[in-house]
Amino acid sequence: MPLITFDGISQPLEEVQDNPARFALNLERAKKSPGYAVCGCKPRSVSSPLRLVIRRYGKLFHLARWPDEGAKHDANTCPFFSESSPGAESGATAQDAIRNTPDGLNAKLDISLSVRTVDRVSPSGGSTPTRAAGRRSAPLLGFLQRIWTDARLNQWSGGAQRNWGTCNAQVLAQLGEGKLNGRPIQEVVHVMRRYEESQQTAIKAELEEFLARIQTTADASERGIVIAEIKSIDLSKYSFVVKIRQTFESFFAAKDVIEKAAKSFRYAWSMIGNAEARVIAVLLLERTKDGNLRVIDLAVQLCSKAFIPCDSSYEVAMANRLVADGRRFYKPLRLLPGEEMLPDFVLVDTPVPTAIEVYGMESHDGYRRRKEQKQAIYSQNRTPCIEWVPPAHLASVRLPAAA
């Protein structure tokens, strides 16, 4: 993690991200003058510092990539690195569901944030919302995976463990002052803040302020999105109770919503509450007529202990081992159709990138075919590949030495 300099102090990025309240005053001063913080991931001359945007979130501040300067950061160690500037994203078009803009993320999701509960038929018949000419929309999981990837949280640069503070800060930096379904993103998305005992009151107040905006009146319903780590999902008397980490707040969800999600995200589901894994979620919330908050849709993503996205419990075990071994690697996420043949993980600290494949379910025909296809691609491209075929013990997998 790079050292960040602002207001006359230098701190590891992790410290700043995990303790936003402790550095709020310094960051506020630096935001006023000189108007930026400085990233120390690469040696630079004093006259051309590697600037970071200081963004305000309520009483707190977070660091973000300076527009068009992502490529100047260290590709291996700095989370502010990005291959191309957001404006020059390869092949990005106005039709894309999710775009990066200098202000932050601009996303169109296939959900409604505002719903009329009374259907008024207008005389002109124009009650159908006009659609931005053919712009695609993304599902909740696609949204979560995209921000995780853009925030480089699917990468590991060999440090110590990563906690929710880092995820919160990097996701917020990615969202920026963007838009979601045309609404200011900070108004409709709440990224749960890491719990700090000294900040307990502030954290509770922030969440309550956000939740208070989720209202249902006689003729309309305003919804909101919460991004958080799932603690538990349990059946209570009449419905399910969704508990998230970092807060005591819990939400209700109807049986059909939970059953659908449990089926769609079954690998993540089975790991909820498992200490070896993390399960992150996007929750779409609505208030019932009697004032209770309800989860009306959700997507969850299984992650390793260090919040690296994973597709199975075996991948979680592999990612946990790679982090414990101090390796540098990333998890490619299938963001576009046609990317089914991506490796499970890629080691980047070897002389050439090394693929890691976690093969399971040998008895499953479709799975075996996919494995053969992948093996053919690796041998054709001469890509080094390490395989793990459970139930063989993970410790028996020999990894190439880091360069």
- Work out whether 53 is an interface residue with Zn ion (CB under 5 A): no
Whole-number minimum distance, CB 319 to Zn ion, in Å? 24
Pick between residue 80 and residue 240 the one whose CB is nearest to Zn ion: 80
Neighbours of 243 (CB within 10 A): 17
For the chain, give percent helix, strand, coil, nearest 5: 25, 30, 45
How far, in Å, are 54, 117, 199, 201 from residue 226 at the CA level?
23, 22, 19, 19
Rule CB under 5 A: which of 187-206 touch Zn ion? none
**Whose CA is closest to 227, among 335, 346, 107?**
107
Output the CA torsion 16→14→105→208 (10° steps): -60
Nearer to Zn ion, 27 or 279 (CB): 27
Whether the CB-CB separation of 191 and 172 falls below 8 Å is answered with yes
Q: Which is nearer to Zn ion, 80 or 359 (CB)?
A: 80
Residue 66 near Zn ion by CB under 5 A: no
Tell me which residues in 90-109 interact with Zn ion (CB under 5 A). none
In angstroms, what is the minimal distance from the CB of 77 to Zn ion?
Answer: 8
Asked if 280 interacts with Zn ion (CB under 5 A), we say: no
Vertex 309 angle, CA 305 and 312, to 5°:
85
Q: How many C-alpha atoms does 147 have within 13 Å on its Cβ side?
A: 31
Residue reference for tokens 């075929």: 389
Tell me the closest approach of the beta carbon of residue 208 to Zn ion, in angstroms.
35
Q: Which of 51, 62, 65, 73 binds Zn ion (CB under 5 A)?
A: 73
Interaction pattern, residues 333-372, with Zn ion; x per rule: CB under 5 A = ----------------------------------------
Select from 67-75, 302-310, 327-335, 383-391 the region that touches Zn ion (CB under 5 A).
Answer: 67-75
Among 80, 210, 240, 345, binds Zn ion (CB under 5 A): 80
Smallest distance from the beta carbon of 36 to Zn ion, in angstroms? 12
Beta bridge partners, 176, equal 104
Judged by CB under 5 A, the number of residues near Zn ion is: 6
**Nearest Cα to 251, choosing from 291, 299, 294, 215?**
294
Which of 65, 99 has the CB closer to Zn ion?
Answer: 65
Q: Which stretch binds Zn ion (CB under 5 A): 76-84, 212-220, 231-239, 377-385?
A: 76-84
* Residue 75 or 342 with smaller CB distance to Zn ion: 75
Q: Is 161 exposed, middle or buried (0-12, 13-18, 19+ CB in 10 A)?
A: exposed
Select 37 or 207, whichever has its Cβ closest to Zn ion. Answer: 37
Q: How far is the CB of 102 from Zn ion (least distance, A)?
A: 18
In this structure, are residues 171 and 147 in contact, taking their beta carbons and an 8 Å threshold?
yes
What residues contact residue 269 under an 8 Å CB cut-off, 6+ apart?
Answer: 261, 262, 279, 300
Q: How, if at all, do strands 293-304 and 250-253 pair?
A: parallel
Instruction: Find the shortest distance in angstroms from Cβ 330 to Zn ion.
Output: 17
Query: Which of these ranges, 79-87, 129-137, 172-180, 195-203, lies near Zn ion under the rule CB under 5 A?
Result: 79-87
**Contact letters for Zn ion, residues 12-51 (x by CB under 5 A):** ---------------------------x-x----------
Task: Tell me how long the chain is.
Answer: 403
Please give the C-alpha separations between residue 177 and each of 66, 173, 183, 214, in angstroms, as whole numbers. Answer: 13, 9, 10, 20
Does 78 contact Zn ion by CB under 5 A? yes
Interacting span for Zn ion (CB under 5 A) from 70-78, 107-115, 159-167, 250-258:
70-78
- Least separation, in Å, of the C-beta of 41 and Zn ion? 3
Q: Is the CB of residue 344 less than 8 Å from the CB of residue 318?
A: yes
Interacting residues toward Zn ion by CB under 5 A: 2, 39, 41, 73, 78, 80
